Amino acid sequence: MAEVLVFHHGHGLTAGVREFAEQLRRAGHTVHVPDLFEGQVFASLEEGIDYAERIGFGTVIARGTAVAEGLSAELVYLGFSLGVLPAQKLAQTRPGAKGALLLEACVPVPEFGAAWPQDVPVQVHGMDADPFFSGEGDVDAARALVDTAADAELFLYSGDRHLFTDSSLPSHDKHAATQATQRVLGFLDHIK
């Protein structure tokens, strides 16, 4: 079974993120879900992103990195949207990473200075008409990652919802979220 470090999105550590982590636990995985917003949960994504901008995206990444330093190096890093920042950085730069699951965001690989490690498998999930994922270049970054990494998959779901995987938000899409969860669990089942 895999050990997974899950980073929440811009709303904060919502009930939906906690439920997703619980699904991974029920499948037998060890899951850590830190709160990078120190207890704050925001009703709107705009409020959460404003908060992240105020504290600095570097602070969000640093908080995620600090949590990882207290855990085994052999982690799978999973990020939802904003949480992809620390997840992707750690998967790319921390030795020992076992995999990366990037949900609803992807950063261009050069952002973190290093090429994607060839021994780190990765999955990217997003909706094909999500204004953030498809409209802000994340899907292009994901395609470039898939083209260069040794073991990478991009899954596009039909729709225009951002944070479709969070069951506690109005943007939740049950069908697409179920597919994404099954693919994530399949990925984790192959981690050695």
- Let me know: does 92 contact 85? Beta carbons within 8 Å: no
Cα dist from 135 to 95, 106, 127, 165, whole Å: 32, 12, 10, 18
Domain assignments of the chain as residue spans, ordered by start: 3-189
**Is the pTM of the predicted complex or chain greater than 0.85?**
yes
pLDDT at 159 over 80: yes
Q: Which of 186, 178, 8 is nearest to 82 (CA)?
A: 8
Average pLDDT over residues 77-99: 97
Average pLDDT over residues 169-182: 97
pLDDT at position 113 is 82
pLDDT at position 129 is 96
pLDDT digits over 102-127, tens only? 999 999 999 998 789 999 999 999 99
Q: Which two tokens stand for residue 125?
A: 């999930």
- Let me know: does 103 contact 127? Beta carbons within 8 Å: no
pLDDT at position 59 is 95
Q: Which of 94, 172, 106, 92 is nearest to 140 (CA)?
A: 106
pLDDT digits over 39-77, tens only? 999 999 999 999 999 999 999 999 999 999 999 999 999
Average pLDDT over residues 69-93: 97
Question: 3-189, which class in CATH?
Answer: alpha beta
pLDDT at 24 over 90: yes
- Please provide residue 10's backbone torsions phi and psi, each rounded to the nearest 5 degrees: -70, -15
Edge-to-edge strand list for the sheet holding 99-103: 30-32, 3-7, 76-80, 99-103, 122-127, 152-157
- Please provide residue 144's backbone torsions phi and psi, each rounded to the nearest 5 degrees: -65, -40
